Amino acid sequence: MIKYSSQFFSNNILKLFLSSLIICISSICFGAGEKINYPQLNWSFSGILGTFDRASQQRGLQVYKEVCSGCHGMRLLAYRNLKAIGYNEDEIKAFASENSVNTINDDGEVVERPARPSDKFVSPYPNDKAARAANGGAYPPDLSLIVKARPDGANYLHALLTGYIDAPSDLKVPDGMYYNKYYSGNLIGMPQPLYDDGVEYADGTKATPDQMAKDVTAFLAWASEPEMEDRKSLGVSVMLFLLLLTALSYFAMKQIWAPIKKQ
Amino acid sequence: MSKSKFKNPVVKWIDHRLPVFSFMDHELNHYPTPKNLNYFWNFGSLAGFALVTMIVTGIVLSMNYTAHVDYAFDSVERIMRDVNHGWLIRYIHMNGASFFFIVVYIHIFRGLYYGSYKAPRELLWILGVLILLLMMATAFMGYVLPWGQMSFWGATVITNLFSAIPLVGESIVTWLWGGFSVDNSTLNRFFSLHFVLPFVIVGVVILHLIALHRFGSNNPIGIDVKGTQDTVPFSPYYTIKDLFGLSVFLSFFAAAVFFFPNFMGHPDNYIEANPMVTPAHIVPEWYFLPFYAILRAIPDKLGGVLFMFGAIAVLFVLPWLDRSSVRSSQFRPIYKIFFWILLFDCILLGYLGAMPAEGIYVILSRIATAYYFFHFLILFPLLPYIEKTKPLPISISEPILGGAATASAFATREKK
């Protein structure tokens, strides 16, 4: 009798367990309904074997330099790092020297000198307060880590840069704010940065806002994770080694245990 | 004096005066281990491996890290960008914390399923819970060090919990911070403690191992070893099995480190800490989420803190809460079902901990919290009075010998 009741009990509990598991999983899948969905693009650097597209990155650097760098700094990046996206030393030197940095000379005076490849990217504002003051109180974030610092960063960035549309007629957009369908809350302090032919690409690529957004995202994705290509290629070797080690240790284990299992 | 078992004269000379080689030979080589352990018994050695990995990578990271509110974030980024293979060391350390918890949580649920905490292994279990507690403190303080937004706000939320203590709460928080907010002195002391606590963990792990080797491992059947026919020497049988387990573990670990290094992290922690900007949702690392859900399920602040710590405290007394003398769930038909419910409950709590504390999530958190404490405080003591356990085998060898019939049948089939 006891056995029967425990059997009955266990079947019901099992059903309860399974059904609650299904409810829980489905709520994980569908629960986050209010999230803004960004268009999912096929980035060359996504996937476990993905690499950066050099041409796109270089165009992206141009977009950053000509459009973004007016307000956004990239303080964690050094000019020398640009070697990784295909520039040679002379090009980097020339690129760096367009900016100037403060230094203290032998007489103890603050003087300006042209930036060198070893310098970090020069930020557009001397400090955060100056940046806020120049942008109506909104702080233009540093872009060094922007792709890593946002969920689904690359798609988010591309969406944001191309997401400027006319505000709904019933919404009054305050002065100094702009309407963006992908920004959380829709009101953003950054005016639309990308317009057709906003930059002139040297390689003849048509500079549409979509193209520029893709290029600058490719550049910023690299800036966030400059180690990505090294990481993935080393990862492939490590995985192959571990696969071999797993197979060898498995068969060694089977062989060693064979006499015990036979007993 | 008995004849030395070592041939090498140097080893023999040293061992005669300082018997470390005899000790290792006894504890790592001949150490008799039940021969029926399944793969869930791999997770102890994996936890040990994870601990060593964390200490080694942590020491290297500390050589390049600056514990100062103005430099911490940038010093971590310097490790990621300019230190040779710094990204590798840091991603191993960062993901290593998550994998350490995965391994330890599986190790704990293994203990719960097979009743490994029961006499005479109560102290072994208690030392294990102590290790878990130390790990949580270490992991929490480690997460503060990169000085990102989640570091800062996580530290603020968790240290503020102590303000719930009546009368002296506020003073304790000020004392913990070393000031009137989470600031440079907080970061400095967290770095100091994050560096030293892992070595305390090593100390407790050694005690954990001494306690383990007193009676040896429990096993899936949960009955005591009757003699040498039930055991095999640790080496080569379990050294090779642990190596195989390690290879599989490393494959998962490497996949995370090399291909999805930020999957278990939070994007906000790549934004430098800013006391003036509060993130929309402050969430702790995933391994704290079940406890975070319990904290938020209780409408009272002090109550929440007490229940959260209580969730760990019940583990300390579990060997005396569980009144059943049968260890393994294989012979406890009802407990076995409740084990899976508990596992599901903990995963549900983890999910709820990641959700905003509103609407249905609050209600579910309360139900799940109630079940957690029901399971430990009511079910464990009372179930043995209701449950009819299955008959236990006579010895570990018996079911294996019983299985010999099928094994020989298999052999004859193979011959055909």
Helix (H), strand (E), coil (C) string for B2-58: CCCCCCCHHHHHHHHHCCHHHHHHHHHHHCEEECCCCHHHHHHHHHHHHHHHHHHHH
Please give the average pLDDT of every successive group of 10 residues along chain B, which has 416 residues.
Answer: 78 95 93 96 98 98 97 98 97 98 98 96 98 98 97 95 93 96 97 98 98 96 93 96 98 98 95 93 94 95 95 97 95 97 98 92 97 97 95 80 42 39
Tokens 């050099």, residue located: A54
CB A215 within 8 A of CB A202: no
Which residue in the set B87, B255, B387 is minimally distant from A231, CB to CB? B87
Best A9, A17, A119 residue to mutate vs chain B (most B CBs within 10 Å): A17
Which residue in the set A2, A6, A76 is minimally distant from B77, CB to CB? A76
Q: Which residues of B touch A238 (CB under 8 A)?
A: 254, 258
d(CA B282, CA A184) in angstroms, rounded, equals 17
Q: Is residue A207 part of a domain?
A: yes
d(CA B306, CA B313) in angstroms, rounded, equals 10
Q: Is residue A22 part of a domain?
A: no
d(CA B381, CA B385) in angstroms, rounded, equals 8
Angle (CA) B84 B89 B90, round 5°: 110
Q: Which residues of B touch A145 (CB under 8 A)?
A: 77, 270-271
Task: Give tens-digit pLDDT for A221-249.
Answer: 999 999 999 999 999 999 999 999 999 99
- Per-residue pLDDT, B397: 83
The answer to whether residue B107 is catalytic is no
For residue B336, give Cα distances in angstroms to A192, A203, B114, B115, B319. 60, 67, 10, 11, 17
Determine how many CB atoms are found less than 10 A away from the CB of residue B106. 15
- Per-residue pLDDT, B413: 39
The distance of A77 to chain B (nearest Cα, Å) reads 9
Domain count, chain A: 1
Catalytic residue among B45, B75, B116, B217: B217
pTM recorded for the entire structure = 0.90
CB A215 within 8 A of CB A56: yes
Q: Is the pLDDT of residue A260 over 80?
A: yes
Q: Is the pLDDT of residue A1 over 80?
A: no
- CA quadruple B67, B73, B76, B78: dihedral sign: negative
Residues of chain B with CATH 1.20.810.10: 31-397
Q: Which residues of A touch B337 (CB under 8 A)?
A: 9-10, 13-14, 17
The distance of A197 to chain B (nearest Cα, Å) reads 32
Q: Is residue A135 part of a domain?
A: yes
Strand partners, A100: A114
Asked if the Cβ–Cβ distance from B251 to A243 is below 8 Å, we say yes
Tokens 């640009």, residue located: A82
For residue A231, give Cα distances in angstroms to A47, A237, B100, B125, B262. 13, 10, 22, 39, 13
3-state secondary structure of B216: coil
CB B294 within 8 A of CB B284: no
Q: What is the DSSP letter of A38?
A: P
- Per-residue pLDDT, B129: 98
| Window B:167-226, CB contacts with A under 8 Å | none
Which residue in the set B232, B270, B401 is minimally distant from A145, CB to CB? B270
CB B182 within 8 A of CB B152: yes
- Per-residue pLDDT, A36: 77
Which residue in chain A has the smallest CA separation from B399? A263
The answer to whether residue B241 is catalytic is yes
Residue type, B98: S
3-state secondary structure of B220: coil
Asked if the Cβ–Cβ distance from A145 to B250 is below 8 Å, we say no
Catalytic residue among B15, B268, B285, B322: B285
3-state secondary structure of B192: helix
For residue B287, give Cα distances in angstroms to A237, B109, B111, B291. 30, 14, 18, 9
Asked if the Cβ–Cβ distance from B77 to A145 is below 8 Å, we say yes
Asked if the Cβ–Cβ distance from A260 to B232 is below 8 Å, we say yes
The answer to whether residue B217 is catalytic is yes
- Which of B139, B158, B194, B141 lies closest to B282 in space, CA to CA? B158
Q: Is residue A145 part of a domain?
A: yes
Asked if the Cβ–Cβ distance from A6 to B400 is below 8 Å, we say no
Catalytic residue among B242, B268, B322, B345: B242
Catalytic residue among B213, B387, B395, B398: B213
Task: Give tens-digit pLDDT for A39-74.
Answer: 999 999 998 999 999 999 999 999 999 999 999 999
Q: Which residues of A touch B37 (CB under 8 A)?
A: none
- Per-residue pLDDT, B220: 96
Asked if the Cβ–Cβ distance from B388 to A246 is below 8 Å, we say no
Which residue in chain A has the smallest CA separation from B236? A256
pLDDT band for position A35 (50/70/90)?
low
Task: Give tens-digit pLDDT for A155-210.
Answer: 999 999 999 999 999 999 998 899 999 998 899 999 999 999 999 999 999 999 99
Which residue in chain B has the smallest CA separation from A245? B247
**Domain enclosing residue A204, as ranges:** 54-77+120-230
Best A142, A145, A234, A262 residue to mutate vs chain B (most B CBs within 10 Å): A145
Level-2 CATH architecture, domain B31-397 = Up-down Bundle (1.20)
Q: Which residues of A touch B348 (CB under 8 A)?
A: 20, 24
| Window B:246-285, CB contacts with A under 8 Å | 246-248, 250-251, 254-255, 257-259, 261-262, 267-268, 270-271
Percent of chain B whose pLDDT exceeds 70: 95
3-state secondary structure of B256: helix
Q: What is the largest CA-CA distance in chain B?
A: 81
d(CA A60, CA A62) in angstroms, rounded, equals 5
d(CA B384, CA B332) in angstroms, rounded, equals 9
Asked if the Cβ–Cβ distance from A249 to B244 is below 8 Å, we say yes
- Mode of pairing for the β-strands spanning B32-34 and B231-233: antiparallel
- Which of B306, B264, B260, B255 lies closest to B287 in space, CA to CA? B264
- CA quadruple B111, B115, B119, B122: dihedral sign: positive
Q: Does B410 touch chain A (CB under 8 A)?
A: no
Q: Is residue A262 part of a domain?
A: no
Which residue in the set A145, A227, A250 is minimally distant from B87, CB to CB? A227
Q: Which residues of A touch B35 (CB under 8 A)?
A: 260
For residue B201, give Cα distances in angstroms to B97, B191, B348. 14, 16, 29
The CATH number of residue A207's host domain is 1.10.760.10
Count Cβ–Cβ pairs < 8 Å, chain A vs chain B: 114
- Per-residue pLDDT, B2: 55
Catalytic residue among B241, B324, B336, B395: B241
Q: Is the peptide bond before B120 cis (omega within 30 degrees of 0)?
A: yes
Tokens 């980097």, residue located: A92
d(CA B101, CA B124) in angstroms, rounded, equals 19
Which residue in chain A has the smallest CA separation from B341? A17
Task: Give tens-digit pLDDT for A79-132.
Answer: 999 999 999 999 999 999 999 999 999 999 999 999 999 999 999 999 989 999
Q: Which residues of A touch B262 (CB under 8 A)?
A: 148
d(CA B104, CA B287) in angstroms, rounded, equals 11
Instruction: Quote the tokens at residue B66.
Output: 């600056």
Which residue in chain B has the smallest CA separation from A118? B82
Asked if the Cβ–Cβ distance from A149 to B270 is below 8 Å, we say yes
CB B368 within 8 A of CB B349: yes
3-state secondary structure of A149: coil
CB B80 within 8 A of CB B66: no
Instruction: Quote the tokens at residue A85.
Output: 């996206």
Which residues, other chains included, contact B175 with Cβ-Cβ below 8 Å and sequence gap of 6+? Answer: none
Q: Is residue A200 part of a domain?
A: yes
| Window B:366-395, CB contacts with A under 8 Å | 387-388
Tokens 């004849």, residue located: B3
d(CA A117, CA A95) in angstroms, rounded, equals 8
Q: Does B106 touch chain A (CB under 8 A)?
A: no
Q: Does B333 touch chain A (CB under 8 A)?
A: yes
The distance of B400 to chain A (nearest Cα, Å) reads 8
